[in-house]
Amino acid sequence: MAAAAAAPEIRHRQVEANGITMHVAEAGPASAAAPAVLFVHGFPELWYSWRHQVGHDWGAIVSWNLCLLRPDRVRALVNLSVAFMPRHPSAKPLDYFRRAYGDDYYVCKFQEPGYEAQFASLDLKRFFKMAITVQTTGSSAMSLQKMQSSNKQITLPSWLSEEDVSYLASVYAKTGFAGGLNYYRCLDLNWELMAPWTGAKVQVPTKFIVGDGDLAYHHPGVKGYIHKGGLKRDVPMLDEVVVIKDAGHFIQQERAQEISEHIYEYIKKFSTDPTHKLSKL
């Protein structure tokens, strides 16, 4: 087991909510009176992705929606990689992805019933090495077959170790991938359920950080939306957008110290500012 996963200062428990069982890793004061910082990971990740330090990837989407639905529960938000995506009044998310990338795009392929079974035949260590280190030079199609058949030698960057990869592979080998894929399968359902919030704004002080090599940053229209006023329109309390040069999608691991500093410098303002009142998450 990776050393960070076995650290005694990290408390693990299961939380039952809305018919879903979620694993939660906690650190810091156990007192309910202490302010909470919530770190939300994406796919294919685990709580372990935040071992160096906040939402990222799918965690970013969940965090945007938390702030959209319950701004009274959040004092400030630092979000990574995936910008807020306002609900289109008539176009479903999957229709957008199919038009933009075709049916072979991984988001579309994940809709197929039983698709998670294909992961069972993979070398999971190789899969995680390729998935976590991909940047804009990689294939946005994320073909599992191509990953498996590729003979390309993978050299791990300094920020990702064999121990890290082994831990991710060992956990997913036990749990499977269905849970993660179900987030993608609920895209259109969530779009339907969020109809009452069409046009709603995220009314929480926010800092958004993205790597300039992040695939999500290079989706059609995303850069313009972030930098030409769209994100600020939909997130009126957006304080800052930070684009980190030569960084990819899993930026909280790749640039751990830099991201930690950004998070700390932002949230510490709200621990002393009396105009911002915190409700416990």
Active site residue 227: no
What is each CA distance from 246 to 52, 61, 113, 138, 251, in whole angstroms?
Answer: 19, 23, 37, 14, 10
- Integer Cα distance of 16 and 36 in angstroms: 19
CA angle 239, 252, 96 (to 5 degrees): 75
Active site residue 249: yes
Tell me the DSSP string of 189-203. Answer: HHHHHTGGGTT----
List, as own/partner pairs, every contact residues 264-268 make where C-beta atoms lie below 8 angstroms and the sequence separation is at least 24, other chains included. Answer: 266/76, 266/78, 266/207, 266/239, 266/240, 267/37, 267/75, 267/76, 267/78
- Integer Cα distance of 211 and 255 in angstroms: 10
Identified catalytic residue from 48, 106, 172, 184: 184
DSSP 90: S
20's enclosing H/E stretch is strand 20-26
- Phi then psi for residue 188, to 5 deg, are -70, -35
Active site residue 184: yes
Sign (positive or negative) of CA dihedral 171, 175, 181, 182: negative
Identified catalytic residue from 41, 56, 219, 249: 249
Identified catalytic residue from 41, 48, 56, 57: 57
Which of 256, 47, 252 is CA-nearest to residue 167?
47
Q: Which amino acid appears at position 111 of this protein?
A: Q
Which of 247, 272, 271 is CA-nearest to residue 258?
247
Residues annotated as part of the active site: 57, 184, 249
